[in-house]
Amino acid sequence: MKTRLKIILAGSLAFVVLSFSAFDNSDKYFEIAKNLDIFATLFKEINTYYVDDVNPNKFMETGINGMLSALDPYTNYIPEDQIEEYQRATTGQYGGIGASVGKRNGVTTVLMPYESFPAFKAGLRIGDQILKIDDKDPNTADTEEVSKMLRGQAGTDVTLLIKRMGEPKPFELVIKRDKIQISNVTFYGMITEDIGTIHLTDFTRDASREVRDALIALKEKGAKKIILDLRGNPGGLLTEAVNIANIFVPKGLEVVSTKGKVKEWNKTYNALNPTTDASIPLAVIVNRSSASASEIVAGVIQDYDRGVVIGENSYGKGLVQATRQLSYNARLKVTVAKYYTPSGRCIQAIDYSSRNEDGSVGKVPDSLRKAYKTKNGRNVLDGGGIKPDLEVAREMFAPITQQLIIKGLFFDYAVKYRYEHPNIADAKNFKLTEEEYAAFDKWLDTQNFTYASRLDKMIKDLEDAAQKEKNNEKILAQIQGLKAAVVQNKNADMQTYKVEVKEELEREIASHFYLEKGGIEASQDDDPDLKAAVQILNDSNKYQQILSGK
């Protein structure tokens, strides 16, 4: 093995050196060849002399990842055994049962079966605990390994041993795997009599077709105005972003351009197809997690004054990646260019080319951000994501609500509620009664639910610091008084923040009955971004005023 490795390394190095000799013998190429030589000899020496056995694959992967970490987080090495997972992420397609799973209290639990796929058809429910997967114990594996156990070639069977609340003993489910294509549009529907909304969560294959079909369906239902919800959408395929923008802007208009070090990446992407609707009033919602392709679409809509962008400042990812084939079926996902919206701005927020001495990176300073013009002459800035035309203040959950989410108590109670209630009203109209909310409060007492706010933790730090001081009795007495003043009382907070807690619990319960669509629909009447979008779409004067920049 060691001899073979030496031969491979020597041969590879000879090839590299010969390849570089064909180029101009510049300092740059000399430095590359020199460092490749150092890297190869170091690898050989470690493999030969290190006291313990070294796994060549893992050792090399660690070195490659360390090297790539000096670039940006989007340039990644993909070894052969991870290609399938990479393709699943980029296409949204895989062979499996169609369910999301995770660990709850150390037990593998179904978090979401996807509608119309095998898990859903077999009757798998949110909250079902998976005790066995084909005689393997999933609870000794991490979530990624469990997901691999569930995936497999379409047409093959997988046997699950399921423990469900209310069932006297575990039971088996045999599920036939199928080709799973996760929808990019997780919800579309009418918000009011004439306003429809489309919730787009990804930009994998067929995203543009799904958005187009949703728009047509909503117009058939009477939609005269549209909300395109891109919150939490991390992006995806550039071509799908171009095609989705084309749904709302006419054929021939520039959608995005890319510029890289290599000339082949200096490209301009225009809308190639007849538009589906170039005039319907449009509101696009973004937040801090809207990135990449989401920002291309939002930027196009903003630059052409085609619609109003609402919500929070977007993430700020203006980098384009391409996949390059490596030896032995490995691949490199590498940043090859920056993209620019039609006005000419690049919205990349972090400058990875300029690192601080400690290796950290910072955002592009405001002083270096340049102003560009939209079609109607409005100022828009580069270098910091997409700034909404109408910003919506973000309200943080109260500490009690945050802890109920973090500790999974909303989830656990929804499992219990689903068992005790065969059906509920449709998700849009589902509301808990006062008695049901009181029952949830009482149930929390059985869960030993306690929590500390951020202020509690700050006081604890202050107390720890005071303990180290001399003559600290007076200070500690004052801290005790402060602690007494901010003691969190669960019962009081359950009433103080009742509206917020109740809304989140209703959303969780609705998702257990109506899955992902139900959770989205149940939260719409409490959604400040959606409310703002509806309000601006219903006020045509304000809508036009924003787009005209007056």
Catalytic residues: 292, 303, 317
Amino acid occupying residue 76: N
Give the residue among 380, 223, 377, 308 at the shortest CA–CA distance from 539. Answer: 308
Name the residue among 334, 293, 335 with its Cα closest to residue 314: 293
Answer whether 304's CB lies under 8 Å from 224's CB: no
Dist CA 156 CA 548 (whole Å): 58
Burial of 381 (0-12, 13-18, 19+ CB in 10 A): middle
Residue 164 CB partners (closer than 8 Å, separation 6+)? 125, 127, 128, 129, 171
The residue type at 378: R
63, with CB counted inside 10 A (0-12, 13-18, 19+), is middle
How distant, in Å, are the alpha carbons of 76, 92, 148, 329 from that of 82? 11, 15, 11, 10
CA angle (72, 288, 337) in 5-degree steps: 35
Please, what is the angle between helix 27-49 and helix 2-21, to 10°?
180
Q: What angle do CA 514, 421, 413 make, to 5 degrees?
A: 80
Cβ atoms of 273 and 251 within 8 Å: the answer is yes
